[in-house]
Structure 1
């Protein structure tokens, strides 16, 4: 039987009417990647993109949700900005607009990673704890006496080993193993990844669910920096594999709201640094005197030991049923607790308009700003600088908007 054609959806666009089996409908209902609504016609469903982008395969059917940002280079810039401010530029990975995100990243990662390892794998010292037939390095006397009962062999030791099995290479291998299973992967990209896996054959594969290996930038690993930053982006995708009845469900997803929130808080914190003071992110506040209602604004800017501004990033407005202006209520609560006369909501342009609201009674002013994510990185960061100037000006005399 011929596999059904992939269903291609774009974030923010109208729903498509699709024929689904009952099993496919139930599988999609359990995912946050798309919204699925039954129609009056049995077997037909309205399917639209949700707040995530990515791809899922349900049995033989593949569904791809593309971001509203049509230039994937812009999306990768947003994804990577919070990872490593020093290396991102507009031409880092050269992704074409007709590619899907992870297949496109596989192509870019293969090129960057092979370039990084072509001079040979990076090596470094790793502390190893082991039990050996002979003494090597330092004797672990406590373990020898308590766990090995003082026997002469094996010997509990700890030593430094100069090896390729270090965090940098482990991260590259994790990204290779993630990407090599991506559907619709170009054959050239697959061969690059297979070659990388052979090169990294002596590197330990981290178990599924383990904490990512930690590495630190240095002059010695400078040739790895771009590949490692892209590896972090690849591994940031939420991947999954499970079964729903007789169907195998696999896929990967990015939360666009989280991508946007991370970008805004990271870029704005850097820009506000030039205004003096310092910024804190996701700090807990209590709405009530009994500390039972906890709030966490995305960013608070402090100067002279006092909170001078509060900012919340919203990819699009939250409108839970019965609370159509939830973002405004939330910001008003932040300002009330912090004793501020102004608060700032930052949206992605096209999702919400630039606006200003003054609350009756309290006089609190809530500014709604919009960042144009389709702008080139330099222009987008200029918008963030304008936003920082507005946030640092209590009178609200400045305005921001692309």
Structure 2
């Protein structure tokens, strides 16, 4: 979502703008042979059906977003509008940026002052988790002038600047400091969010706490480029928070309202995959804050059979320490379903998860429909399968409250079995 600004054009004038809707029907478009060839190469995005030599019916498939396709006279600016508003979509993306395909070719965008607040909750949660084990430090080579020797003397600088004068000394040393690119990026995003008007008081207080924890980190000068960072073992616990920090700093440019056109990197996302990843991370974080333990989104460590040929793929397994030996074991299993109504095989799937993980309750979360509970008898008791609903049509702040309420219900459901 890298942002660029132009004053006179929208990413070139030759691209054919094609606008489709997620889940929408067929619409008719006049296409040249070059434009048709461009779309025919991307039938993972759009279905095509001929009406005449130049008129084609188009329908979006399962992705949403905006991307620039082709080149020259065959260039097509394809936009597939999601059913949910952009702020809600970006709120989901903030929890699962790895589910998004970004394309560096620019596409037009509009000023959106509601996007930064939509990112703030996810950013605070990710930054808090990143800093749980303390602020990351690293050794940086530091040049300084000191009255005593630290590190080694820079003899050439000492002779040039102070010939014959023993002190102060020009020295260079390795300083173990928090003032590193990763922390500068977190601080810059935190300070940017603090300037958002109308931010929730709780979010503002959390951001101020983050600022205090990053004491000793220099604030980026105005206009300075975003600090670069390289993922690795050293900063692995920071990775999600840093990705969101970059989204915050880039997304700030959406707030322009001075008549300039805005161009952003293309973005495509499969909604059902995004919904599953969002639920897994958001509910896992809410459970961790509520009851502790360790959330494992997309846990792939369990198998249905003893030969370990058939892997289980729940969207979330949450681990809690056993009261008997303190070993962390599965306590919650959840699967998200981007469907309009429950299907029977959802119940079969969750029953298998519960039986294999040794749980007496499981949780299915749908994007629409009605909540409920299904009781499945087993040899020595029963498994309760809960149906929950998280409606993406609700404002993103309500989604945050809905996730918290869902975590509370999940915790309450497991308590009878834990007694």
Q: What TM-score, normalized by structure 1, do the two folds share? A: 0.54
Residue in 1 aligned with 2:351? 332
Give the Cα–Cα distance (whole angstroms) in 2 for the partners of residues 255 and 3 of structure 1. Answer: 28
Show the counterpart of 1:343: 362
- Spell out, residue by residue over 1:83-139, the C-alpha distance to the aligned partner (whole angstroms, 9 max, x if none): 8xxxxxxxxxxxxxxxx9965479978xx9xxxxxxxxxxx98747xxxxxxx978x
Is the 2:27–2:59 contact (alpha carbons within 8 Å) kept by the matching residues of 1? yes
- For 2:76, the equivalent position in structure 1 comes to 61
Q: Where do 1:42-191 residues align within 5 Å?
A: 42-43=53-54, 44-59=56-71, 60-70=75-85, 72-80=86-94, 104=111, 127=140, 166-167=181-182
- In the alignment, the residues of structure 1 paired with residue 403 and residue 287 of structure 2 have an alpha-carbon distance, to the nearest angstrom, of 9
Query: Residue 261 of structure 1 contacts residue 314 of structure 1 at CA under 8 Å; is this kept in 2?
Result: yes
Deviation, structure 1 residue 341: 3.5
Contact 1:390–1:396 under 8 Å retained in 2:
no
- 1:328 and 1:382, CA in 2 relative to 1: closer, same or farther beyond 3 A? same
The unaligned stretches of length 5 or more in structure 1 are 84-99, 113-123, 129-135, 139-156, 174-195, 218-223, 235-249, 398-402
Q: Which of 270, 286, 305 is the equivalent residue of 1:288?
A: 305
User: Partner of 1:310 in structure 2?
Assistant: 333
RMSD: 5.1
Closer, same or farther: CA 225–253 of 1 in aligned 2, 3 Å:
closer
1:301 paired residue number:
318
Q: Which moved more, 1:53-62 or 1:360-369?
A: 360-369
Contact 1:356 1:367 in 2 (8 A): yes
- Distance of 1:76 and 1:38 partners within structure 2: 32
- Counterparts of 1:126 and 1:286, CA distance in 2: 43
SS at match of 2:412: coil
Contact 1:347 1:370 in 2 (8 A): yes
On the 8 A contact 2:62/2:271 being kept in 1, the answer is: no
Residues in 2 aligned to 1:383 and 1:171: alpha-carbon distance in whole angstroms: 27
Range 330-339 or range 41-50, more displaced: 41-50
Q: CA deviation at 1:356?
A: 4.3
- Deviation track 1:324-370 (CA, whole Å, cap 9, x = no partner) reads 75544432321221233332111223xx5545445577754433321
Change (3 A) 1:24 1:229: closer
1:11 aligns with 2:26: no
Alignment of 1:230 onto 2:248 = yes
Kindly indicate whether the alpha-carbon contact (under 8 Å) linking 2:24 and 2:59 is maintained by their aligned counterparts in 1. Answer: no
Q: Any conservation in 2 of the 1:16–1:48 contact (CA below 8 Å)? A: no
Task: Show CA shifts across 1:1-58 (max 9, x none).
Answer: 9746512222222232334455545544554762313246455133224233233333
- SS of the equivalent of 1:294 reads coil
Distance 1:104 1:386 in 2: 32
> How many pairs does the alignment contain?
291
- 8 Å Cα contact 2:26/2:57 also seen in 1: no
Cα distance 1:17–1:396, how it changes in 2: closer, same or farther (>3 A)? farther
For the Cα contact (< 8 Å) 1:347–1:369, is it kept in 2? yes
Tell me: CA distance 1:107–1:77, structure 2 relative to 1, closer, same or farther (3 Å). closer
Between the two structures, name the one with larger relative contact order (CA 8 Å, sep ≥ 6).
2
Give distance in 2, aligned partners of 1:366 and 1:269. 18
Q: How far apart in 1 are the matches of 2:185 and 2:405?
A: 40
